[in-house]
Structure 1
Amino acid sequence: MATQNPDERRIGSAARVRAARTRTPFPRQAWRRRQEDLALELLRELTCLANEIRHANLIQLHRITAAQVDHAMADPALASAMSTLEDLSDGRRRQVLFVNREYSAIILGHRIGAYGWAEMIGHLRVLARNEVFKSYWTMTDQHRRSLPQESLEAKVGRAVDAIMDELADDPDEWWVVGPADAEDTI
């Protein structure tokens, strides 16, 4: 019969007790739930980061476009190269390019979340009172028709069309025209 080490039993039992203690505060289900919570939080953070990058890219694109428009407004040769509209004087072409830039800035503000749909419509209501914008809007009708119907630009175009129609009917009530509440109704 082999002799047993009297401490052997205590070492093994101490290890078992220690292992049991470490498992008790962190049962497998709680640990897994915590891992899932961390993964979901990471996914939310990545989604926010992706949105911020997208917004930064939209803003940068707008800056590039605005710089090109600035160059075109300063040089009539560049303005005619940038504009597809015909039979415009140099001064009128500059005005149309500028009002297009204002219109684009309003839409950009909505795209990046600076303001919601109703506020964007409010800005467009004010812009729609401008005679240069009215002329621009009429001249660019065919451009808007080429947009995909589900795009934001097409939805905004339909909203501005409604604003323009109501302004034509009653120009004194410009602050209450157009669809203000939901973009889904357009």
Structure 2
Amino acid sequence: MATQKLGVRRIGSATWSGAVGRMSAPFRRPSRRRRQEELTQDLLRQLAGVAEEIRHANLIQLQRLIVGQVDRAMADPALMAAMSTLDDLPDFKRRQLLFVNREYATILLAYRIGSVSWGELLGHLRVLCRNSVFADYWERTAEHRRSLPGESIEAKVGEAVDVIMEELAEGPDEWWVVGPSPEG
């Protein structure tokens, strides 16, 4: 008899547990597997963010190396001639062109690493394009830009500068709005 009561209780408690389990099913926590998948996805997102930060750090370090080389070249006419691809220029003009190239590269780097938006990039370029030395640099290096892959960031920015330069050549009163749309 005790066995029967014990058996009934087991059946009863199993039945009761099953009923409670079915009632609480919609309120259960995510399964362990689902939680692991969520944690894995979160970890992958964080890892991708770290990879992007490392990429940006590498771009910044590369820019530092280039700036150091340009500075050394600007101080030594022999190195300056070796660095510049533009021929028949007096040293002062070569220095100017190397310097505006460095300024342009710095603005482009800021966009590449996400420090400035497309609209902010265009604003910086509008100011730079008003400079006559930059205008001369841009004209002299048109051939250089033709070798860029059309889908590259530098080609896209180069096309924007071309539009800005064309519109500035028309002499607009409101130079700060020339060029492509900031939303582009």
TM range (shorter): 0.7 to 0.9
Q: Where does residue 140 of structure 1 map in the other structure?
A: 141
Q: Where does residue 180 of structure 1 map in the other structure?
A: 181
Structure 2: gaps spanning 5 or more residues: 1-5, 22-27
Superposed CA RMSD in Å reads: 2.0
Structure 1: gaps spanning 5 or more residues: 1-8
Distance in structure 1 (CA, Å) of the matches to 2:174 and 2:154: 25
Distance in structure 2 (CA, Å) of the matches to 1:82 and 1:130: 23
Q: Where does residue 24 of structure 2 map in the other structure?
A: none
Q: Percent identity?
A: 62
Q: Where does residue 98 of structure 2 map in the other structure?
A: 97
Are residues 70 and 92 of structure 1, via their aligned partners in 2, closer, same or farther at CA, if it must alter by over 3 Å?
same
Shift of 1:172: 3.0
How many residue pairs match? The answer is 163
Q: Where does residue 36 of structure 2 map in the other structure?
A: 35
CA contact (8 A) 1:96 1:132 kept: yes
Give runs of aligned pairs for residues 156-175 of structure 1, distance below 5 A.
156-175=157-176
Deviations 1:9-36 (A, max 9, x none): 9xxx9xxx9xx9xxx8xx8961011000
More moved, 164-173 vs 65-74:
164-173
- Partner SS for 1:182: coil
Q: Where does residue 67 of structure 2 map in the other structure?
A: 66
Are residues 71 and 171 of structure 1, via their aligned partners in 2, closer, same or farther at CA, if it must alter by over 3 Å?
farther
Q: Which of structure 1's runs of 4+ aligned residues deviate more than 4 A?
A: none
Deviations 1:49-79 (A, max 9, x none): 0000000000000000000000011011100
Q: Where does residue 107 of structure 1 map in the other structure?
A: 108
CA contact (8 A) 1:117 1:180 kept: no
TM-score normalised by length of structure 2: 0.83
Deviations 1:85-126 (A, max 9, x none): 011100000000000000000000001110111100100000
Distance in structure 1 (CA, Å) of the matches to 2:106 and 2:172: 24
Structure 1: which amino acid aligns with 2:162?
Answer: D
Shift of 1:180: 2.9
Structure 2: which amino acid aligns with 1:47?
Answer: A
